[in-house]
Structure 1
């Protein structure tokens, strides 16, 4: 059965997550800086930080980052990768109970994780930990579902073989829902195109990094990989397929 506890859900696929999950387009950081005044002296709480992909983006921009992650294997992977940076630390906490002090951070970052949170509880917690002029940035890579034979075939593969793909896909919020969540504090939203160019091995790893992809030993695992091979062979160009996304971001202040 799929693991429905979001704090443990990815614990058995950390290595694939580290190697094959996409990062985020540079335009995202530029937009935060130019449109919302997010500067390197802002302390960032990266909530649901996972293996550190989003934390690394903020470190590269000069920020101090505290990564809040309840999944021990994922948190350990982030520490192995980023722990040598003096501007990085990782703590065991959840989006709804971060353990951070009140009015202690300038920016809450939630990358690829908001759909797992209790939306009402995080509003209260983020309001508590943000400084009076602080902001929250909620963003994720939204996989493009149509536009090429590969993209459409990959979507069908997930629907055919994913353990609980449909339920997870339905958890993502839309623009209207995010506007409502921020309420009067909503400051803006935008999106950017992003692409991974994958050979078969990296495509396989990208698939297996998903929590709804059946693992080895599951009766759907081998049939899923055989279907992936057929899809790749039918759609690759020069040994590569284009795995396309829209990176969506929403920014605002948060009131309890």
Structure 2
């Protein structure tokens, strides 16, 4: 994953990430509980970033250890969740979490799975899972079609984004996920989700993306001009709908 600097590329976008990235629907946790996951299960949030996914499971009653190699993002999670006594964060990677063997009941990976070495993490997750344990992988998949805003936003990224296609193509499909879990695959679900954003929120959401050019890059100012034009053309009472499908996969991967 070194070609895209997966552990470093968000370091200068932490504040936008904290303020403007979407959360995840509670229905996702309810679905997992339907598979037998219980609130007393210990959760490892691997690639936890700024703690958005950790908060989801803390709110559902779980004890959560966040594993995050990026110091700036890990510090943001620790600041945000400092009052949560059931939360702690550690410096570790997906392939080498540093967690004790058999100590985790539920490994969760939100949004970050496409950065991992899929073979190495299978072995690491198998090592840290308890006998009853499961792994769940989920992400918010931005809808590319359906409204003038969504379609215009995709065109904007294609025109101005830096390595946008290289990042987008890393996301795995349903069949790939089923193969990754192997015989222990328990299934998948999809839940509609979204954000209603004013222009400031839309700009922050764009700039939280690692492929959005920063100030000083020749694409930055043209991109902002295009974003303003898109917003003005598609807004309704001062906001646009940024729509997702939250896709979740669960099982116990073959070691």
Normalised to the residue count of structure 2, the TM-score between the two structures is 0.98
Alignment of 1:66-77 (within 5 A): 66-77=65-76
Alignment of 1:54-133 (within 5 A): 54-133=53-132
> Are the aligned partners of 1:112 and 1:139 in contact in 2 as well (CA < 8 Å)?
yes
Give unpaired runs (5+ residues) of structure 1. Answer: none
Q: CA deviation at 1:5?
A: 1.1
Distance 2:254 2:5 in 1: 27
Q: SS of the residue aligned with 2:53?
A: helix
Q: CA deviation at 1:8?
A: 0.7
Q: CA deviation at 1:84?
A: 2.1
Normalised to the residue count of structure 1, the TM-score between the two structures is 0.98
Q: SS of the residue aligned with 1:12?
A: helix
> Are the aligned partners of 1:145 and 1:152 in contact in 2 as well (CA < 8 Å)?
yes
Q: CA deviation at 1:53?
A: 0.1
Alignment of 1:162-201 (within 5 A): 162-201=161-200
Counterpart residue number, 1:158: 157
> Are the aligned partners of 1:194 and 1:247 in contact in 2 as well (CA < 8 Å)?
yes
Counterpart residue number, 2:242: 243
Q: SS of the residue aligned with 2:38?
A: coil
For residues 35-91 of structure 1, the C-alpha deviation after alignment (integer angstroms, 9 at most, x for no partner) is x11111000000000000000011101110000000000000000001221100000
Counterpart residue number, 2:134: 135
Counterpart residue number, 1:204: 203
Distance 2:231 2:5 in 1: 32
Give unpaired runs (5+ residues) of structure 2. Answer: none
Distance 2:44 2:28 in 1: 17
Q: CA RMSD in A?
A: 1.0
Distance 1:13 1:195 in 2: 21
Counterpart residue number, 1:10: 10
Distance 1:9 1:97 in 2: 19
Distance 2:254 2:40 in 1: 23
Counterpart residue number, 1:30: 30
Distance 1:4 1:115 in 2: 11
For residues 179-215 of structure 1, the C-alpha deviation after alignment (integer angstroms, 9 at most, x for no partner) is 0000101001010011100110100000000000001
Q: SS of the residue aligned with 2:138?
A: strand
Q: CA deviation at 1:3?
A: 7.5
Q: Summarize the Cα distance change of 1:196–1:3 in structure 2 as closer, same or farther, 3 Å threshold.
A: farther
Higher mean alpha-carbon deviation, 3-12 vs 145-154, is at: 3-12
Distance 1:242 1:171 in 2: 25
Alignment of 1:219-234 (within 5 A): 219-234=218-233
Distance 1:171 1:205 in 2: 23
